[in-house]
């Protein structure tokens, strides 16, 4: 089945690291994504990782992938108040029309306290 | 680059009327566009995938006669909610993917309220 799960809330202090976790069910997923949605705004692609990679780093963002456990995490170093948003994990699949589609988690609401 | 716009950003309509939402890729050609629906405190639900010049592929449980999708050009897709009911009230988001890319770029969303 298609299922992506995330914890709903995370609260951290400014300057600390944030780790947002995600589990997925489809072992055939080739790409996994992290998107950010700020209040009243659209979705912004933060980063993605190919399924044959274990880790990807992009400035303050580190993505870790454990394919065996189907576990994906996003670490934000030196978290700032501007990082407060909802973070969505998504896995890619191919639908009936042979188009790639994204299966989404419910989103983790990150609150950064000064 | 990779900007996607939606129009209108917010619309209120009466039950029984139809509403059209436009999704445009402003600086790239979108061979594939996706329409999503997002409920409060819920994840995005993919409604349909459309490729330019062909019929949309609808996800299971989405009524194609109620949610009409037209992807007439490489920069424009429209979603028409026909005979709208209050339960159609939601946040509708489109995304677009360009030629040879795997990233989806999202529009800002359209808030539909059916009274």
User: Does B109 sit within 8 Å of A101, measured CB to CB?
Assistant: no
- Considering only alpha carbons, which residue of chain A is nearest residue B51? A99
User: Does B59 sit within 8 Å of A88, measured CB to CB?
Assistant: no
More confident residue, A93 or B89: B89
Q: Is the pLDDT assigned to residue B99 strictly greater than 90?
A: no
- HSE-CB for A93 with a 13 A CA cutoff: 18
pLDDT in tens, A34-52: 999 887 777 888 999 988 8
- In a mutational test of the A interface, the residue from B1, B52, B102, B105 whose CB has the highest number of chain A CBs within 10 Å is B102
pLDDT in tens, A49-104: 988 899 999 999 999 999 999 999 999 999 999 999 999 999 887 666 666 678 88
> CB pairs under 8 A, 24+ apart, for B40-43?
B41/A106, B42/A106, B43/A4, B43/A88, B43/A104, B43/A105, B43/A106, B43/A107
For residue B4, the distance in angstroms to the closest alpha carbon of chain A comes to: 10
Q: What is the pLDDT of residue A1?
A: 52
Residue B21 pairs in a beta bridge with B79
Mind giving me the DSSP string for B17-59?
A: --EEEEEEESSS-EEEEEEEEE-TTS-EEEEEEEETTSPPEEP
Confidence of residue B98 (pLDDT cuts 50, 70, 90): confident
């Amino acid at each position: 089945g298609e299922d992506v799960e995330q914890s709903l809330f995370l609260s951290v202090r400014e300057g600390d690291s944030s780790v947002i976790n995600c589990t997925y069910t489809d072992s055939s997923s080739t790409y996994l994504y992290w998107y950010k949605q700020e209040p009243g705004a659209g979705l912004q692609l933060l980063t993605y990782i190919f399924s044959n990679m274990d880790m990807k780093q992009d400035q303050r963002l580190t993505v870790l992938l454990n394919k065996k456990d189907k576990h994906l995490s996003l670490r934000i170093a030196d978290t700032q108040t501007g990082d407060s948003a909802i973070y969505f994990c998504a896995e890619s699949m191919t639908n009936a029309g042979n188009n790639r589609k994204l299966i989404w988690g419910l989103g983790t609401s990150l609150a950064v306290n000064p | 680059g990779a900007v996607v716009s939606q129009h209108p950003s917010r619309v209120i309509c009466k039950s029984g009327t139809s509403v059209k939402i436009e999704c445009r890729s402003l600086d790239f050609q979108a061979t594939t566009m996706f329409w999503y629906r997002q409920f409060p405190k819920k994840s995005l639900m993919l409604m349909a995938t459309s490729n330019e010049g062909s019929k949309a592929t609808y996800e299971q449980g989405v009524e194609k006669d109620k949610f009409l999708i037209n992807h007439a050009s490489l920069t424009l897709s429209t979603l028409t909610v026909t005979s709208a009911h209050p339960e159609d009230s939601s946040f509708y988001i489109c995304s677009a993917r360009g030629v040879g890319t795997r990233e989806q770029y999202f529009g800002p969303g359209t808030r539909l309220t059916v009274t």
